[in-house]
Structure 1
Amino acid sequence: MTMDLSLTIMQLLSGIALGAVLVITALGLTIVFGMLGVVNFAHGALFMIGAYAGLYLASLTGSFWWGLLLAPILIGAFGMLIEFVLIRRLYGRSVDDPLLLTFGLSYILVEGVRIVFGSDGIPFPTPPQLVGVLDLGIGFFPRYRLFVIALVAVVLLVLWLTLEKSRIGLIVRAGARDPTIMQVLGVDIGRVWLAIFGLGVGLAALGGVLAGPMRSVNPEMGSLVLAEAFVVTVIGGLGSIVGAVVAGLMVGISISMVALFAPEMATIVMFALMAVVLLIRPQGLFGVRGRTA
Structure 2
Amino acid sequence: MAFFDIPTQALLGQLLLGLVNGSFYALLSLGLAIIFGLLHVINFAHGALYMMGAFAAWIGLEYFGFSYWLMLLLAPLLVGVVGVIIERTMLRWLYKLDYLYGLLLTFGITLVVEGAFRLVYGVSGQPYPVPTLLQGATDVGFMILPNYRAWIVVVSISTCLVTWFLVEKTKLGSYLRAATENPNLVETFGINVPLMVTLTYGFGVALAAFTGVLAAPVIQVSPLMGSHLIVTVFAVVVIGGMGSIMGAIVTGLGLGVIEGFARFLYPELSSTVIFILMAIVLLMRPAGLFGKDH
Give TM class, smaller chain.
Answer: over 0.9
For residue 170 of structure 1, what is the aligned residue in structure 2?
174
Pairing 1:44–2:47 present: yes
Q: Is the 8 A contact 2:26 2:160 kept in 1?
A: no
Q: Report the residue type matching 2:187 in the other structure.
A: Q
Aligned residue among 23, 32, 35 for 1:29: 32
Per the normalisation by structure 2, the TM-score is 0.94
Deviations 1:48-101 (A, max 9, x none): 111111222233234111121111111011101110011011121121111111
Q: Report the residue type matching 1:267 in the other structure.
A: S
Give secondary structure in 2 for the equivalent of 1:214.
coil
For residue 248 of structure 1, what is the aligned residue in structure 2?
252
Identity rate, percent:
40
For residue 13 of structure 1, what is the aligned residue in structure 2?
16
Give secondary structure in 1 for the equivalent of 2:221.
coil
Q: Is the 8 A contact 2:30 2:160 kept in 1?
A: no
CA RMSD of aligned residues (A): 1.4
Aligned residue among 65, 78, 102 for 1:74: 78
Pairing 1:279–2:283 present: yes
Q: Report the residue type matching 2:218 in the other structure.
A: M
Q: Is the 8 A contact 2:61 2:67 kept in 1?
A: yes
Q: How far did 1:143 drift?
A: 0.8
Deviations 1:111-160 (A, max 9, x none): 11111222211112111222221111332111111000110122123212
Q: Give the count of matched residue pairs.
A: 290
Q: How far did 1:276 drift?
A: 1.2
Matches within 5 A, 1:59-70: 59=62, 60-70=64-74
Q: Report the residue type matching 1:251 in the other structure.
A: L
Q: Is the 8 A contact 1:50 1:75 kept in 2?
A: yes
For residue 106 of structure 2, what is the aligned residue in structure 1?
102
Per the normalisation by structure 1, the TM-score is 0.95
Give secondary structure in 1 for the equivalent of 2:138.
strand
Whole-Å separation in 1 of the counterparts to 2:143 and 2:233: 30
Q: Report the residue type matching 1:195 in the other structure.
A: L
Q: Report the residue type matching 2:51 in the other structure.
A: M
Whole-Å separation in 2 of the counterparts to 1:255 and 1:211: 18
Q: How far did 1:4 drift?
A: 1.7
Structure 2: runs of 5 or more not aligned: none
Whole-Å separation in 2 of the counterparts to 1:78 and 1:221: 19
Q: How far did 1:103 drift?
A: 0.8
For residue 88 of structure 2, what is the aligned residue in structure 1?
84
For residue 135 of structure 1, what is the aligned residue in structure 2?
139
Give secondary structure in 2 for the equivalent of 1:213.
coil
